Chain A
Amino acid sequence: MEKRARFKSAWLPYALVAPQIIVTLLFFVWPAVQAMYQSMLLQDAFGGYSEFVWFDNFRALFADSNYLASFKTTAIFSLLVAVLGLSLSLMLAAFADRVIKGASIYKTFLIWPYAVSPVVVGVLWTFMLSPTLGIVSNWLHHFGIEWNHVLNGRHAMILIVIAAVWKQVSYNFLFFLAGLQAIPKSLIEAAAIDGAGPVKRFRTIVFPLLSPTTFFLLVVNIVYAFFDTFAIIEATTQGGPGKDTEILVYKVFLDGFKGGDLGGAAAQSVVLMTIVIVLTVVQFKYVEKKVQYA
């Protein structure tokens, strides 16, 4: 039996992919080209003055030692968000997969945080961890930990990681759960009969079969940490104390949106875009080799 669809006409396949190509050009390629053009402009906020300065904006950026320091901050932050976010959600998904009674209630609760806007997430966690009024910092006080993210850079980093992970866990959870439920039960049962315990079953059967999902989520989470977290930082630490939580995308937001420096912000976003492209290429070239597509 012929399974593959065949196109008889020459133009139909092009017509079918055209919408996707148009959307990509319009919403991805065109803005990227615009950003590259703007990154070489020196402009005032209202756009009344504009001068083409070639690579001056980039030169200014890389001459700023603070900007270079923020690469390290971003690397630490995105690594923590991706690793913690993925392992926590995998754990939750594995547990939820075993639950039989009231499974839908658990799932609903776990999906909830995703519906909350990043700013609200930030405000919520700042409130719970507020050095004097916060309920969590109050508990920590009883354990002898004086929580103060306003002055302690490490605490501030922990705060933004918690808020960022908490928001992303739902998304990861959904994919992991779907992945887990797609694994044939017969495989696991066979392994159980052969005498493999739950941990061994998970390590040798479940996790390898989940690797395509894990890989996809790894890429998504890194992109999330790089691009979608500025609202959380704005609502919690504003990059402080000092510059301890100023990740690259927050500086783009600060300079472009709040400072009105579009040229500088565009240069930063081009740098950011390059990093993410490189990261994605590396992931697909090297990490993907470890992925087993069924």
Chain B
Amino acid sequence: MKSKFKALAIACALATMSVSAHAVTEISWWHSMAGALGDRVNGLADEFNKSQSEYKVTPVYKGAYDEAMAAAVAAYRAGNAPDILQVFEVGTATMMYSKGAIKPVSEVMKLAGEPFDPSSYVPAIGGYYAAPKGGGLLSLPFNSSTTVMFYNKDMFSKAGLDPNKPPVTWQELAVDAAKLKASGAKCAYTTTWQSWVELESFSTWHNVEFASRNNGFDGLDTRLKFNSPLHVKHIENLANWAKQGYFTYAGRKDEATSKFYAGECGILTGSSSSYADIAKNSKFKFGIATLPYYSDVPGAPQNTMIGGASLWVMGGKKNDEYKGVAKFFKFLSKPEVQAKWHQETGYLPTTIAAYEITKKSGFYDRNPGTDVPVKQMITKTTDKSRGIRLGNMPQIRTIIDEELENVWTGKITAKQALDTAVERGNLLLERFEKTNK
């Protein structure tokens, strides 16, 4: 923490120095893109900085999403918040209800006189970051991902399955997993981020509510609803499959991805942004398919849930800085910039124009399967499928992890686990409601 403050102090000192030297407005951007993604973020800032001479965007890597957000909270309280902050999707409610700490993107654009059309965004993405009333955007969609299914074609062939026919429904997945298991696979099906895949995205994909008040979009008095018979049935199925050895639980985060690319598991559900990692590390042919669904549920499949992050503008800055931020956001929203980001990173194209450009360029034909997440998201969303926007969501996810782990170990039933998780999560929602009256 101390070294962070020191680095911040030095960064601030440098920032003021260069302002006096070149008279350009400095825009600081805290993000969580490490490695190759971080290089790409620096590339975007460079490109923008070279395109004009009035503003200079400085990206700073601040650790993982939760660390960057904690750092921003501390910085805001000390009066040193950055201009732009990248926040993961589960932090959305915390950001939007924090009075004065943020400035909605639509307001920033209006202030700078930049024309801006929120409807150019893919509905499932734009809708997620839209204000409750009036429809203006609160934050700029930047890197969005969604839940997809990866499968090992070589293992499918070995198990006597058609490598070009991945399971489409959960019923089919169970049959295929049994065959994979019978062919000697150590692990048939596994998943990353169980709450996101098996409950959150599962809800929007089946067009059922995860929480009341349209998943929290209509107000703070929302309560969890993921203990419905459909949810219970799904978790029960998973528990049974775990007992029979068809489903292997690998951990709370993305531990399962490495199990998949090590060739251990035949089927993986997880983030579309794992594509780059899997393509780089796997020594077998793999396919990308849509998330499975229950064919007997009316309205399924609808659209999957978004993940990833968006860019928030912090409050209390000078007008000059807001103008610079608006110019930079304008640049980031350009279809060509978006399309390039999408193709290079595996994140979704956030605008429809970026998707069209990518489609025309033949990218999806050259990289089969990369359009699966886009197709899952581009469907029109319903009120129940627009996304999930709940306060204290990171903690609710932890509760879900804890309760589900007790199901996988056979300590409690699926019904007990989901009922308890709903009960415990609702206490957190009540608490959030109280602090954000």
Are A261 and B431 closer than 8 Å at their CB atoms?
yes
How far is it, in angstroms, between the C-alpha of A242 and the C-alpha of B434 when the chains are bound? 28
Contact of A49 among B77, B259, B406, B436 (CB under 8 A): B436
One digit per residue, 1 when the CB lies within 8 angstroms of any chain A CB and 0 when it does not, for chain B 401-424 equals 111011011010000000000001
Are A240 and B262 closer than 8 Å at their CB atoms?
no
Stretch at the interface among B4-12, B91-99, B299-307: B91-99
Nearest residue, chain B, Cβ from A151: B409
Are A242 and B94 closer than 8 Å at their CB atoms?
no
Nearest residue, chain A, Cβ from B420: A66
A97 within 8 A of B: no
A260 within 8 A of B: yes
Which residues of B, 248-297, contact A by the 8 Å Cβ criterion?
Answer: 249-252, 255, 258-259, 262, 264
Residues of B within 8 A of A (CB): 66, 69-70, 73, 76-77, 94, 97-101, 186, 249-252, 255, 258-259, 262, 264, 392, 394-395, 398, 401-403, 405-406, 408-409, 411, 424, 427, 431, 434-437
16 contacts between A and B (CB under 8 A): A42-B435, A49-B436, A150-B255, A238-B401, A240-B402, A240-B405, A241-B405, A241-B406, A241-B408, A242-B405, A242-B406, A242-B411, A254-B395, A258-B394, A261-B392, A261-B431
Q: How many residues of A contact B (CB 8 A)?
A: 32
Are A132 and B436 closer than 8 Å at their CB atoms?
no
Q: A257-B70, A258-B66, A261-B392 are in contact. Are A45 and B94 (CB under 8 A)?
A: yes
Are A239 and B402 closer than 8 Å at their CB atoms?
yes
Nearest-neighbour CB distance to chain A for B369, whole angstroms, equals 26
A47 within 8 A of B: yes
A259 within 8 A of B: yes
Neighbouring B residues of A239 by C-beta, 8 Å: 398, 402
Are B251 and A49 closer than 8 Å at their CB atoms?
no
A211 within 8 A of B: no
Contact of A45 among B98, B262, B406 (CB under 8 A): B98
Q: A43-B435, A132-B264, A242-B411 are in contact. Are A48 and B100 (CB under 8 A)?
A: yes
How far is it, in angstroms, between the C-alpha of A111 and the C-alpha of B250 when the chains are bound? 34
Are B435 and A132 closer than 8 Å at their CB atoms?
no
How far is it, in angstroms, between the C-alpha of A257 and the C-alpha of B398 when the chains are bound? 14
How far is it, in angstroms, between the C-alpha of A150 and the C-alpha of B409 when the chains are bound? 10
Residues of A within 8 A of B (CB): 42-49, 51, 60, 64, 66, 132-133, 150-153, 238-243, 254-255, 257-261, 264
Nearest-neighbour CB distance to chain A for B332, whole angstroms, equals 24
Neighbouring A residues of B401 by C-beta, 8 Å: 238, 240
Nearest residue, chain B, Cβ from A259: B395
Q: A241-B406, A243-B402, A258-B66 are in contact. Are A48 and B249 (CB under 8 A)?
A: no
Neighbouring B residues of A60 by C-beta, 8 Å: 427, 431
Nearest-neighbour CB distance to chain A for B425, whole angstroms, equals 12
Are B250 and A150 closer than 8 Å at their CB atoms?
yes
Nearest-neighbour CB distance to chain B for A241, whole angstroms, equals 4
Neighbouring A residues of B406 by C-beta, 8 Å: 241-242
Contact of A255 among B69, B395, B427 (CB under 8 A): B395
Are B431 and A151 closer than 8 Å at their CB atoms?
no
Q: A241-B409, A258-B70 are in contact. Are A46 and B76 (CB under 8 A)?
A: yes
Are B252 and A238 closer than 8 Å at their CB atoms?
yes
Neighbouring B residues of A254 by C-beta, 8 Å: 395, 398
Are A151 and B249 closer than 8 Å at their CB atoms?
yes
Nearest-neighbour CB distance to chain A for B6, whole angstroms, equals 17
How far is it, in angstroms, between the C-alpha of A125 and the C-alpha of B86 when the chains are bound? 32
Nearest residue, chain A, Cβ from B77: A47
Are A49 and B437 closer than 8 Å at their CB atoms?
yes
Nearest-neighbour CB distance to chain B for A150, whole angstroms, equals 5
Nearest-neighbour CB distance to chain A for B389, whole angstroms, equals 15
Neighbouring A residues of B98 by C-beta, 8 Å: 44-46, 48
Nearest residue, chain A, Cβ from B100: A48
Q: Which of A60, A151, A152, A260 has the most CB of B within 10 A?
A: A260
How far is it, in angstroms, between the C-alpha of A47 and the C-alpha of B94 when the chains are bound? 11
Given A241-B408, A257-B70, 6 more pairs with CB closer than 8 A:
A44-B435, A49-B435, A150-B249, A238-B398, A240-B405, A261-B395
**9 cross-chain pairs, A with B, having the tightest CB-CB distances, nearest first:** A46-B101, A241-B405, A46-B98, A48-B99, A44-B435, A259-B395, A242-B406, A242-B405, A258-B66
How far is it, in angstroms, between the C-alpha of A87 and the C-alpha of B318 when the chains are bound? 60
Nearest-neighbour CB distance to chain A for B193, whole angstroms, equals 13
Are B435 and A151 closer than 8 Å at their CB atoms?
no
Neighbouring A residues of B66 by C-beta, 8 Å: 257-258
Nearest-neighbour CB distance to chain B for A125, whole angstroms, equals 15
How far is it, in angstroms, between the C-alpha of A151 and the C-alpha of B262 when the chains are bound? 20
Nearest-neighbour CB distance to chain B for A158, whole angstroms, equals 16
How far is it, in angstroms, between the C-alpha of A66 and the C-alpha of B399 when the chains are bound? 11
Neighbouring B residues of A133 by C-beta, 8 Å: 258, 262
Q: A46-B101, A48-B101, A49-B437 are in contact. Are A260 and B94 (CB under 8 A)?
A: yes
Nearest-neighbour CB distance to chain A for B192, whole angstroms, equals 13
Contact of B252 among A132, A240, A261 (CB under 8 A): A240
Nearest residue, chain B, Cβ from A57: B431
How far is it, in angstroms, between the C-alpha of A44 and the C-alpha of B66 when the chains are bound? 16
Neighbouring A residues of B395 by C-beta, 8 Å: 254-255, 258-259, 261
Neighbouring A residues of B251 by C-beta, 8 Å: 150
Nearest-neighbour CB distance to chain A for B66, whole angstroms, equals 5
Nearest-neighbour CB distance to chain B for A74, whole angstroms, equals 16
Are A46 and B252 closer than 8 Å at their CB atoms?
no
Neighbouring B residues of A261 by C-beta, 8 Å: 392, 395, 431
Neighbouring B residues of A49 by C-beta, 8 Å: 99, 435-437
Nearest residue, chain B, Cβ from A66: B424
Contact of A46 among B77, B186, B427 (CB under 8 A): B77
Neighbouring B residues of A255 by C-beta, 8 Å: 395
Neighbouring B residues of A66 by C-beta, 8 Å: 424
Nearest-neighbour CB distance to chain B for A278, whole angstroms, equals 28
